[in-house]
């Protein structure tokens, strides 16, 4: 099988945040999608979420309303694993983050699916070797980790287990790239992959700064999104340093701030467990941050999510990513 042979995708856990986002993305890109969840009520939720996502894309002019109506017909909703898996060439698993769920779905693909079908887990950081450990065909198991919302954020981190075939990794890479994603392949297994490790490294320091009384939750968020975050949408830290070092590039920056940065690193957080009581402090801080937002930028989770998606879409259009 080649990437171009992938025509039908099975999304497992299709009513969840990630499953409904993936199903939206695959439908938007013209694939047939089997949307699986465990009962009728959840399938109804899946349908509502996917329809709302595609309607949003149509409202924003990303797709026409004719395309929206057409691709909605390409979704098949089912609570039967056999029906979800038997005719799919690619499976995007989006079940809860527990080995037992993911291993059971690998076993179901072994039982009902084609031997050639790829099993791609959306796991945020479980090991693919462990997810695939009982499979008859561990070579077809990969991680394909999206960032929320999966239909808008381009990154997909593709990861392998001990027995994953290099050809499957490459096929998944080609598939996601052709579909319009920005895939990267991890050369080795690493819990948390790349983006979540970076996110948690930043977050640990952000939490530590709040706990030490250096700044509020609101200000640490402002420091990120009004400063480095704006550049991060355009380039990564290495390229940022390259541009910051004038004619000496990245080497120039390291000469300039390298010694000071070693002093900062000496003072930075290294703890491995969330400090006791920190979650309440953070929640209180983020509640205040939300209350201080301008009404037009949204104050509730729902309003802020909508505001985020509007801004994300504008940014993606600016970057020619939609
Ligand atoms: N939430 C995020 O920001 C995010 C980002 C990237 C990856 N992920 C990963 O995506 C996966 C799903 O996360 P989520 O946030 O969408 O969770 P969620 O709880 O919103 O959705 C999980 C879905 O799985 C369904 N489900 C429950 N048991 C199942 C089973 N046995 N088989 C199949 N489906 C079952 C649920 O009904 C639900 O629809 C997790 O592995 C998570 O780590 C989450």
Q: What CATH code is carried by the domain that includes residue 238?
A: 1.10.1040.10
Residues 235 and 269 reside in one and the same domain: yes
Q: Look at residue 135 in the predicted model and tell me its pLDDT.
A: 96
Helix or strand holding residue 291 (H, E): helix 278-291
- Does some domain include residue 274? yes
Residues 76 and 223 reside in one and the same domain: no
Residues 209 and 161 reside in one and the same domain: no
Residues 147 and 177 reside in one and the same domain: yes
Q: Look at residue 169 in the predicted model and tell me its pLDDT.
A: 97
Find the residues whose C-beta lies inside 6 A of ligand 1: 12-13, 15-19, 37-38, 42, 94-97, 101, 105, 122-124, 145-146, 148
CA of 122 to the centre of ligand 1 (A): 8
Residues 151 and 29 reside in one and the same domain: yes
- Does some domain include residue 282? yes
CA dist 79 and 16 (Å) reads 14
Condensed to tens digits (0 to 9), the pLDDT of residues 125-155 reads: 899 999 999 999 999 999 999 999 999 999 9
Among protein residues, the one whose CA lies closest to atom 21 of ligand 1: 16
Residues 31 and 155 reside in one and the same domain: yes
Phi and psi angles of residue 223, each rounded to the nearest 5 degrees, phi first = -60, -35
**Cis, bond preceding 149 (omega within 30 deg of 0):** yes
Q: Look at residue 191 in the predicted model and tell me its pLDDT.
A: 87
Condensed to tens digits (0 to 9), the pLDDT of residues 206-235 reads: 999 999 999 999 999 999 999 999 999 999
Residues 141 and 44 reside in one and the same domain: yes
CA of 103 to the centre of ligand 1 (A): 14
Q: Look at residue 125 in the predicted model and tell me its pLDDT.
A: 83
Where the chain has pLDDT below 70, the residues are none
- Does some domain include residue 314? no
Residues 72 and 144 reside in one and the same domain: yes
Count of domains forming the chain: 2
- Does some domain include residue 243? yes
How many CB atoms sit inside 10 A of residue 76's CB?
15
Residue to mutate (ligand 1; options 16, 42, 143, 191; most atoms within 8 A of CB) = 16
User: Which range of residues forms the domain containing residue 10?
Assistant: 3-185
Buried b (16+ CB within 10 A) or exposed e, 194-207: ebbeeeeeeebebb
Among protein residues, the one whose CA lies closest to atom 2 of ligand 1: 148
8 Å CB contact between 82 and 113? no
pTM score, two decimals? 0.94
Q: Look at residue 130 in the predicted model and tell me its pLDDT.
A: 95
| Six-digit token string for 97 | 């983050």
8 Å CB contact between 33 and 26? yes
Residue with tokens 């017909």: 73
8 Å CB contact between 155 and 182? yes
Residues 75 and 38 reside in one and the same domain: yes
Residues 165 and 224 reside in one and the same domain: no
Give percent helix, percent strand, percent coil of the chain, each to the nearest 5: 55, 10, 35
Q: Characterise 249 by phi-psi region: left (phi > 0), alpha (psi -120 to 50), beta (else).
A: left
| Six-digit token string for 52 | 């709302």
How open is the CA angle 105-27-304, to the nearest 5 degrees? 90
CA of 20 to the centre of ligand 1 (A): 10
| Six-digit token string for 90 | 């690619």
CA of 199 to the centre of ligand 1 (A): 20
């Amino acid at each position: 099988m080649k990437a171009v042979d992938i025509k039908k995708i099975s999304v497992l856990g299709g009513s969840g945040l990630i499953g409904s986002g993936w199903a939206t993305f695959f439908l938007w890109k013209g694939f047939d999608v089997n949307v699986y969840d465990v009962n009728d009520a959840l399938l109804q939720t899946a349908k509502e979420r996917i329809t709302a996502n595609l309607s949003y894309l149509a409202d924003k002019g990303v797709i026409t309303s004719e395309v929206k109506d057409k691709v909605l017909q390409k979704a098949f909703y089912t609570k039967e694993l056999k029906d979800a898996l038997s005719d799919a060439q690619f499976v995007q698993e989006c079940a809860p983050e527990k080995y037992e769920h993911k291993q059971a779905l690998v076993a179901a693909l072994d039982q009902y699916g084609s031997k050639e079908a790829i099993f791609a887990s959306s796991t945020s950081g479980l090991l693919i070797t462990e997810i695939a450990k009982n499979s008859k065909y561990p070579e077809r198991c990969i991680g394909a980790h999206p960032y929320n919302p999966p239909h808008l954020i381009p990154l997909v981190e593709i990861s392998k287990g001990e027995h994953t075939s290099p050809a499957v990794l490459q096929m998944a890479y080609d598939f996601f790239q052709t579909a319009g994603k920005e895939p990267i392949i991890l050369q080795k297994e690493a819990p948390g992959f790349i983006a979540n490790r970076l996110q948690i490294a930043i977050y640990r320091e952000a939490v530590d700064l709040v706990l030490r009384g250096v700044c509020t939750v609101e200000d640490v968020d402002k420091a990120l999104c009004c400063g480095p975050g704006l550049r991060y949408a355009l380039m990564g830290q290495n390229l940022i340093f390259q541009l910051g070092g004038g004619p000496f590039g990245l080497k120039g920056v390291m000469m300039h701030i390298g010694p000071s940065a070693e002093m900062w690193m000496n003072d930075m957080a290294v703890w491995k467990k969330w400090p006791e009581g920190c979650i309440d402090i953070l929640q209180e801080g983020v509640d205040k941050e939300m209350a201080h937002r301008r009404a037009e930028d949204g104050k509730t989770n729902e309003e802020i999510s909508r505001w985020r998606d509007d801004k994300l879409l504008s940014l993606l259009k600016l970057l020619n990513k939609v």
